[in-house]
Structures are given as structure tokens and as C-alpha cells.
Amino acid sequence: MNINSILNSIKKANHMLTETLILHYYTKTVCSGCGIDPVNKEAINYNCPVCGGTGYSIEDKMIDIPVSFEYLSSDNKLNSEVNRLKPGVYDDSVILITIDKEEMDEYNIDIDKVDCYEWNNTKYRIISKEPGVLGGTIYEINLMLEKII
């Protein structure tokens, strides 16, 4: 079996059992409604309806992507669900996701610039990341995420 056949098999497996994950990219910009006082470095208008008096606006750019999904069971063993995940069946404090390289390219994802991840109305941050490499080719990124409390 050649490397391309193996990579295609992995890609198919990654797309068999997927969940949708939301990637959040936050961008902080000076408020268009009032701005920042250059001397005091504070909002010009503390009653600004746009920023609420902070002087900045936060934009949340969200991208929904399909990911392979695993979780830790209550006895801290790694499990994969054969069917779609159902709330209450798993310990969602730590999840393991796999993002296929194809999705990373298609959605132009830079993992290092993602501010947080959301699944099932819960936000997560990266604990660890590890690329899947075969024959010098990165074919996926594996992320361990922990719930943000």
C-alpha cells in the first residue's frame, strides 16, 4: 500500500464520524462610535452605545468545521463513539478532536490564531496539539481541548 492510499483511507475515516466544532477568532478594534482618547488611553465616550464605554469593539469571527471527535470517559479512558454523541454520555471536560488537513486548507485555519473552540454550547481551549504526519506529509491536526470554566 502506498502513502497516498493510506492518506486517503485516513481522510475517509476522519469524515465518517464527525461533529461540528465552532472556531472563534476575536478581533479587538478601536470603537467606530467614540474611539480612544490618545492622552488618557480611555474611551472618549463612556456612554457610547456601540462599545458600552470601553473604547473598543470586539468582533467574533466564527467558523463551523467538521471534526473527528473523541472524549475521555469517567474512568479517564479514551473512547470513540460509533454513533453521534449524545449529551450526558461522556465527560465533556476534556475532548480530543482531529481536524483533517483538507478542512484546514479549505477554511484557511491557523490553529495558533484560534481564540477558543466551541462544541455543544461549551467553550474550550487547547491543552495540546500534535500533527499527524505520514511520509513527511501533515494530514491532520490532533487537539486536546479542555473546558473553559
pLDDT of res. 93:
82
**What secondary structure does DSSP assign to 70-96, as a single string?**
EEE-TTS-EE--SS---TTSSEEEEEE
pLDDT of res. 48:
94
Give CA–CA dist 95/38, Å, rounded: 44
pLDDT of res. 76:
46
Residue 45: which residues within 8 A CB-CB, separation 6 or more? 33, 34, 53
Task: Indicate the pTM of the whole model.
Answer: 0.69
pLDDT of res. 91:
64
Length, in residues, of the chain:
149
Exposed (0-12), middle (13-18) or buried (19+): which is 60, by Cβ within 10 Å?
A: exposed
Closest CA to 90 of 103, 104, 77, 107: 77
Which residue do the cell numbers 456612554 mark? 47
Return per-residue pLDDT of the chain as tens, 149 residues: 576 676 666 566 655 557 889 999 998 999 999 999 999 889 999 999 999 999 999 899 999 998 887 765 544 444 444 333 444 445 678 888 888 888 888 888 888 899 999 988 999 999 889 888 888 888 888 898 999 98
C-beta separation of 28 from 58 below 8 A: yes
The H-or-E segment that residue 114 falls in is: none
pLDDT of res. 68:
80
pLDDT of res. 84:
39
Q: Residue 44, SS3?
A: coil
